[in-house]
Structure 1
Amino acid sequence: MNRLAFELKLDEEEVRPADYFDMMAGVGFGGLCALLLGRLRMTPRLVADELEKVATAIFNTGDDEIASAEYAMVKLRMVIEDILRRHGHPCNIDLRDDSNNRCKVVVFAALEVVADHCRPFRTYVHPRSSKGVRHTFVDVACAILAFPEFLPPVLIGRPGREERFSGIPHGFHNPMQEVLKESQWLFDKERPVSLVLSLGPGQGPIISSKDYRGTTSSRIVSKTDTVAKELSQRFCGVGEYLRLNVDKGLDNVELDDWHALGSIVSHTEVYLELPTITAHIDRAVQWLLRRNGSVTLEQLVCSNNHSQIKFLQQNHNEQLLKVVKQMNEIVQEAIEKITLVDAVGIRIPISLQLCRSYETLIKVIRVYYEDQRPPGTRLVKKGHFELVSGNEGEVVKPIAWRCVVTPGLTVEMSMIRHDYHTEGMNCPRCGHAYTDWTTKGWTTWGASR
């Protein structure tokens, strides 16, 4: 957002992602970021500060693991409530946003009994969800952060029908597939997509072997890399899709390494300063400012075959290149030509390749007159004409032609009549008789101006 603020000539704190993105989503801490950015409309800098407070509450455990896990959940709730209070919201605020906020947010949590099921929690009304069921912001925030390794599950639902949620669904560390499906319920399928931005965790797969009680678990927590590769293949050639993920230095960072934020910041800044990444970010900013992409939502969501999107994008690129080529040809034709104005004022474009030498140009002029038969053809056939150029109408000498001819040059023809003793000598164009000649030479009708 710093880059966007720079382009808009605004202070960084004046630019809020919720004003530029129509939809945000995530799981775990990514889900909490989406809620803070989209639902509460915070700036990225504020979100970073609040995340540090939340992480400290979760991972600052004591010696008694069971007691500390339960207590960590209590502290987590207190921290979330404190965030709401400090930013002017009631502690029992609903997750659902009934205001005119353009940014819709959906976050996903895992059911304890079905860990590989992705349960969505939305800030908006969805056709498939019950309109009467409303969840609090605090409950949902705790549910998406209830990592089994550190926290107990969170109960959400009506009394007697509560469901237990425990953090990130198995296999959904990158929920982009679900987000794309969700978007088709919200927006028109023909709507152009400006930017699809995916932010990775900056680390490889993690296998969890124990839950917060120390019980052995075979649950694989992350398939981020696999999903990211599938999406990269699917959206190959689609400029509106951007994946950012710090690929070096964070492999050994664990969830509870919040005391080492300095190294995380350093590796992230190095990654963002890479020329390729900087170029991608610059392009993304331009897409956001335009708010008009070349791919529709239907093409992104409804195509299970990435080759179709690639073909559509390739076809778009081919059409664009074709137009650019035609424009270049037009420009080159205008630049790489001279203009000949004949004796009656007709402008004749001639390729520079056909008039590099004076002799070749004369041949071209003769062929033109023989083919088109304009006024003055008889004089041209006899060679009774001259070429003039410049504001003063200076005669162009054959020996000097190679020094004169340049792209864009305009030369004019002047017809020469040697029969100046003949009465009634007429203009080749209008036929007007010209009698005011001198006996020292010949009479010349210049090209019509």
Structure 2
Amino acid sequence: MQRSVMATADGRSSTQQLRLLCLDGGGVRGLSSLMVLKMLMEMIDPDNPPKPCDYFDMIGGTSTGGLIAIMLGRLQMSVQECIDEYTTLFSSIFTKKKHRVGWGGKLQGRFDHEALEAGIKRIVGEKLNDENALFKDNSSNGGCKTFVCATSATTSETVIMSSYYSMRRLNDIRNVARIWEVGRATSAATSFFDSIQIKGSTYLDGGTGANNPINKLWAEADDAFRQGPDWRLEDNLLCMVSIGTGQPLLKKFGDSILGTDILDALVDITTNTETTANDFQQAHAQIFEQGIAYRFNVEQGLENVALEDATSAGKIEEVTRRYLSIEKSNAPLRRCVSRLKASEGMSICI
């Protein structure tokens, strides 16, 4: 992927004009995020919608948002390809395990992690002809920088797994982590899927610490694109897009073995997602006021869609289509598209 920079009158490059995309976690409701993104790409070019990897310099996500980030960024899928694979994947994996308690009384995830692994491997194999391809991107231009959030089972801290090199992280995991392992790590949600080990370390779903990874995206972009001590991300940002999965109303899953501590944790995750969005917007108010940063999230209609309800695709689509059509949402979408296209026709590539 080529990054564009704005050129000054004398031909010198001034700003990098970066475009960033952030994707929340939210189980099957990630379909809503994809529909919002599809709308943006179609508004850019209705006849030939661009792939997000060709429009965004960095894509980051958590949990199912992490899976979407992998498909759009590392696997360079179109949004429609991602929607097709996403719906197929989740209709196949969200089937209850027969036994929640395994050998030795160990509590297992409610859903089959092997089905998730198989689904991700199939997608990777079809796109890259190698189901065990590394998440590390060895392409000459580095491609669209992609990262996901996971949680260390040892420290309970959020861990970034990226396709690109970072001076803030040892390179050992990046050198060995396969795409399907990274996908498993970011989506090993509390009580849903079993944890995974990569290079001796155990990882859980990133949603427990960064279900809305907007702060992680800001920090990653600031590091990855920095060009000197006086460089500031806000001066080099063309557009930043954050997409949620709808504001849910969590409900019990009808599984008596699912303890109240887990339910409380899931409630905290979804509550913190919007708190994070609001706090970020307050801390970076200027880029929102200037029409540089945007947050899109269905406000009503998805409250009763459970994280694992793979039969609700029709409802998610219907509610999201309504959200996209009303002026309160559509006007910011139009402004966002104008911003995303702002550098077209007056950029040089480096």
Shorter-chain TM range is 0.7 to 0.9
- Aligned positions, number: 285
Q: How far has the Cα of 1:204 moved from its partner?
A: 3.8
Over 3 Å counting, the alpha-carbon distance change for 1:70 and 1:266 in structure 2 is closer
Within a 5 Å distance, the mapping from 1:406-417 to structure 2 comes to none
Q: Tell me the residue number matched to 2:273.
A: 224
Instruction: Give the Cα separation in 1 of the matches to 2:155 and 2:251.
Output: 18
Contact between 1:57 and 1:72, CA under 8 Å: does it hold in 2?
A: no
2:56 pairs with 1:56: no
Residue equivalent to 2:182: 140
Alignment of 1:115-126 (within 5 A): 115=156, 117-126=157-166
2:53–2:76 Cα contact (<8 Å) kept: yes
Which residue of structure 1 lines up, in the alignment, with residue 153 of structure 2?
Answer: 112
How many angstroms apart in 2 are the aligned matches of 1:148 and 1:155?
A: 15
Given that residues 189 and 207 in structure 2 are in contact (C-alpha distance below 8 angstroms), is that contact kept between their aligned partners in structure 1?
Answer: no
* RCO higher in structure (CA 8 A, sep ≥6): 2
Q: 2:309 aligns with which of 257, 280, 300?
A: 257
Alignment of 1:36-435 (within 5 A): 36-66=71-101, 69=109, 72-99=112-139, 100-115=141-156, 117-133=157-173, 134=175, 135-157=177-199, 162-188=200-226, 189-190=231-232, 192-204=236-248, 206=250, 214=258, 217=261, 218-219=264-265, 220-222=268-270, 223-236=272-285, 237-291=289-343
- CA 1:44–1:279: 2 relative to 1, 3 Å: same
Task: Tell me the TM-score normalized by structure 1.
Answer: 0.59
Q: CA deviation at 1:88?
A: 3.4
Cα distance in 2 for partners of 1:73, 1:112 equals 17
On the 8 A contact 1:205/1:221 being kept in 2, the answer is: no
TM-score of the pair, normalised by structure 2: 0.74
Cα shift at 1:69 = 4.1
Shift of 1:132: 3.6
Say which SS state the counterpart of residue 202 (structure 1) adopts: coil
**1:246-286 deviation per Cα after TM superposition (whole angstroms, max 9, x unaligned):** 00011111111110111111110000111121111111111
Q: Is the 8 A contact 1:204 1:224 kept in 2?
A: no
- Stretches of structure 1 that go unaligned for 5 or more consecutive residues are 293-449
Structure 1: how far apart are the matches of 2:101 and 2:216?
Answer: 34
5+ unaligned residues in a row in structure 2: which ranges?
1-37, 103-107, 345-350
**Which structure would you say has the larger Rg?**
1
Partner in structure 2 of residue 388 of structure 1:
none
Question: 1:53: Cα distance to partner?
Answer: 2.4
What one-letter code is carried by the residue in structure 2 that aligns with 1:148?
T
- Judged with a 3 Å threshold, the aligned counterparts in structure 2 of structure 1 residues 8 and 150 are, in CA distance, closer, same or farther, namely closer
Secondary structure of the corresponding residue to residue 119 of structure 1: strand
Q: Percent same amino acid among aligned pairs?
A: 25
Stretch moving more, 186-195 or 221-230: 186-195
